[in-house]
């Protein structure tokens, strides 16, 4: 535990840095080839994702922000006073600002895997909210985790925005909800943003923007492999492919090889047929009742659900 100032503490669980090479070795030996979407988010990938959030076609961020602004007071009322607000994958801690004033938590606990990003964003927040007590925690929430032992037993609430839950397969999503519940303890609440099912045309447009930013985001994975594992993949030998799969209720993103080729990574050869793809991301879409069912199956009680007028996005309040 490091003490930065009286009101800013930092707890480092030292998550092991993500092993890209290991992930390729296992994922690219499967059929179809695949890799976890968490490898998108190196520095360049995070910048590209920020750009995606501002695209006309990508309604997700805009709609969630609008919902948070509109319902901040009601969300705060449902959580109550003297709370410990835990943010899952806090990143640049921008959305939390929308509920901080309304909630005035006794403690804010941002959780993120990226140490630098976490310290930087938490410091900025500490400057802007002088009354706020912060305990930043560096850990990988996609692995087994728990809150630091010294976390006070206040009125605990976890904030998990952005429909990041959609990037987990439903079974893993349920496991993550259960893990969060364990960390919060009985009576703990979860405020979670979930993207809604909607006409396929809107979904396909959101993941195939006309400026090609999502394509660049997808292809950054190949650039990242080149940068970090000293490879010479030609990113132009792959194309971005994103589509809605009705049978799985998810957007799938793939990188499709435009040609037959062999890619050598750390002494291992990976063969690609022309048209063969690497499955890089799933983004599951839920109706409000689908998600409530998932929550119930995970041992949680749905308390409230806020949806915008166009039924694009939902924010759920759940209780353990």
Q: What is the DSSP string of the chain?
A: -EEEETTEEEEE--PPPP-HHHHHHHHTTSSSEE--GGGG-SHHHHHHHHHHHT-SS-HHHHHHHHHHHHHHHHHHHHH-SSEEEEEET-TT--TTHHHHHHH--SEEEEEES-HHHHHHHHHHHHHH-TT--EEEEE--TTSS----TT---SEEEEEE-TTGGGGS-HHHHHHHHHHHHHHH-TT-EEEEEEEBP--HHHHHHHTS-TT-HHHHHHHHHHHHHHHHHT----GGGEEEEEEEETTTTEEEEEEEESS-EEEEETTEEEEE-TT-EEEEEEEE-B-HHHHHHHHHHTT-EEEEEEE-TT--EEEEEEE-
Q: From the list 135, 214, 220, 298, which residue makes contact with ligand AVI (rule: CB under 6 A)?
A: 214
Q: Does 90 bind ligand AVI (CB under 6 A)?
A: no
Q: Does 167 bind ligand AVI (CB under 6 A)?
A: yes
- List the Cα angle 30/34/36 in 5-degree steps: 130
Name which of 87 and 281 has its Cβ closer to ligand AVI. Answer: 281
Q: How far apart are CA 35 and CA 320, in angstroms?
A: 32
Q: Does 314 bind ligand AVI (CB under 6 A)?
A: no
Q: Does 52 bind ligand AVI (CB under 6 A)?
A: yes
Q: From the list 20, 60, 100, 184, which residue makes contact with ligand AVI (rule: CB under 6 A)?
A: 60
Closest separation in Å from C-beta 62 to ligand AVI: 13
Q: How far apart are CA 106 and CA 110, in angstroms?
A: 13
Closest separation in Å from C-beta 206 to ligand AVI: 7
Name which of 108 and 168 has its Cβ closer to ligand AVI. Answer: 168
Name which of 110 and 166 has its Cβ closer to ligand AVI. Answer: 166
Name which of 147 and 221 has its Cβ closer to ligand AVI. Answer: 221
Q: From the list 135, 181, 257, 283, which residue makes contact with ligand AVI (rule: CB under 6 A)?
A: 283
Closest separation in Å from C-beta 109 to ligand AVI: 21
Q: Does 281 bind ligand AVI (CB under 6 A)?
A: yes
Name which of 280 and 292 has its Cβ closer to ligand AVI. Answer: 280
Q: From the list 61, 63, 121, 163, which residue makes contact with ligand AVI (rule: CB under 6 A)?
A: 163
Q: Does 220 bind ligand AVI (CB under 6 A)?
A: no
Contact 103, 79 (CB under 8 A): yes
Q: From the list 105, 162, 170, 302, which residue makes contact with ligand AVI (rule: CB under 6 A)?
A: 162
Q: Does 207 bind ligand AVI (CB under 6 A)?
A: yes
Point out which span in 107-115, 162-170, 259-267, 299-307 binds ligand AVI (CB under 6 A).
Answer: 162-170
Q: Does 164 bind ligand AVI (CB under 6 A)?
A: yes
Q: Does 193 bind ligand AVI (CB under 6 A)?
A: no
Name which of 151 and 163 has its Cβ closer to ligand AVI. Answer: 163
Please give the residue ranges that form the binding site for ligand AVI (CB under 6 A): 52, 60, 162-164, 166-167, 207, 214, 281, 283
């Amino acid at each position: 535990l490091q003490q930065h100032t009286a009101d800013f503490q930092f707890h480092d669980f030292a998550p092991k840095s993500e092993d890209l090479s290991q992930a390729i070795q296992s994922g690219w030996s499967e059929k179809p080839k695949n890799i976890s979407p968490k490898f998108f988010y190196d520095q360049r990938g995070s910048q590209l994702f920020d750009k995606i959030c501002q695209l006309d076609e990508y309604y997700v961020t805009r709609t969630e922000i609008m919902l948070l602004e509109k319902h901040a007071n009601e969300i705060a009322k449902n959580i109550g006073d003297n709370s410990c607000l835990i943010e899952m994958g806090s990143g640049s801690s921008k959305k939390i600002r929308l509920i901080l004033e309304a909630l005035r938590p006794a403690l804010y606990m941002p959780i993120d895997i990226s140490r630098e990003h976490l310290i930087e964003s938490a410091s900025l927040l500490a400057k802007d909210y002088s009354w706020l007590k912060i305990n930043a925690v560096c850990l990988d929430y996609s692995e087994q985790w728990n809150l630091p032992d010294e976390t006070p037993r206040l009125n605990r609430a976890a904030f998990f925005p952005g429909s990041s839950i959609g990037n987990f397969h439903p079974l893993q999503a349920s496991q993550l909800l259960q893990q969060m519940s364990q960390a919060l303890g009985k009576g703990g609440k979860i405020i979670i943003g979930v993207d809604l099912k909607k006409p396929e045309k809107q979904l396909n447009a959101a993941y195939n923007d006309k400026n090609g930013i999502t394509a660049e985001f997808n292809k950054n994975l190949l650039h990242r492999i080149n940068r970090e594992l000293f490879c010479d993949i030609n990113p132009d030998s792959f194309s971005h492919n994103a589509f809605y799969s009705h049978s799985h209720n998810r957007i799938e993103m793939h990188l499709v090889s435009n040609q037959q080729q062999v890619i050598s990574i750390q002494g291992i050869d990976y063969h690609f047929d022309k048209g063969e793809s690497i499955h890089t991301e799933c983004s599951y879409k839920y109706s409000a009742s689908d998600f409530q069912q998932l929550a119930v199956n995970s041992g949680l009680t749905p308390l409230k659900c806020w949806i915008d007028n166009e039924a694009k996005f939902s924010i759920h309040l759940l209780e353990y």
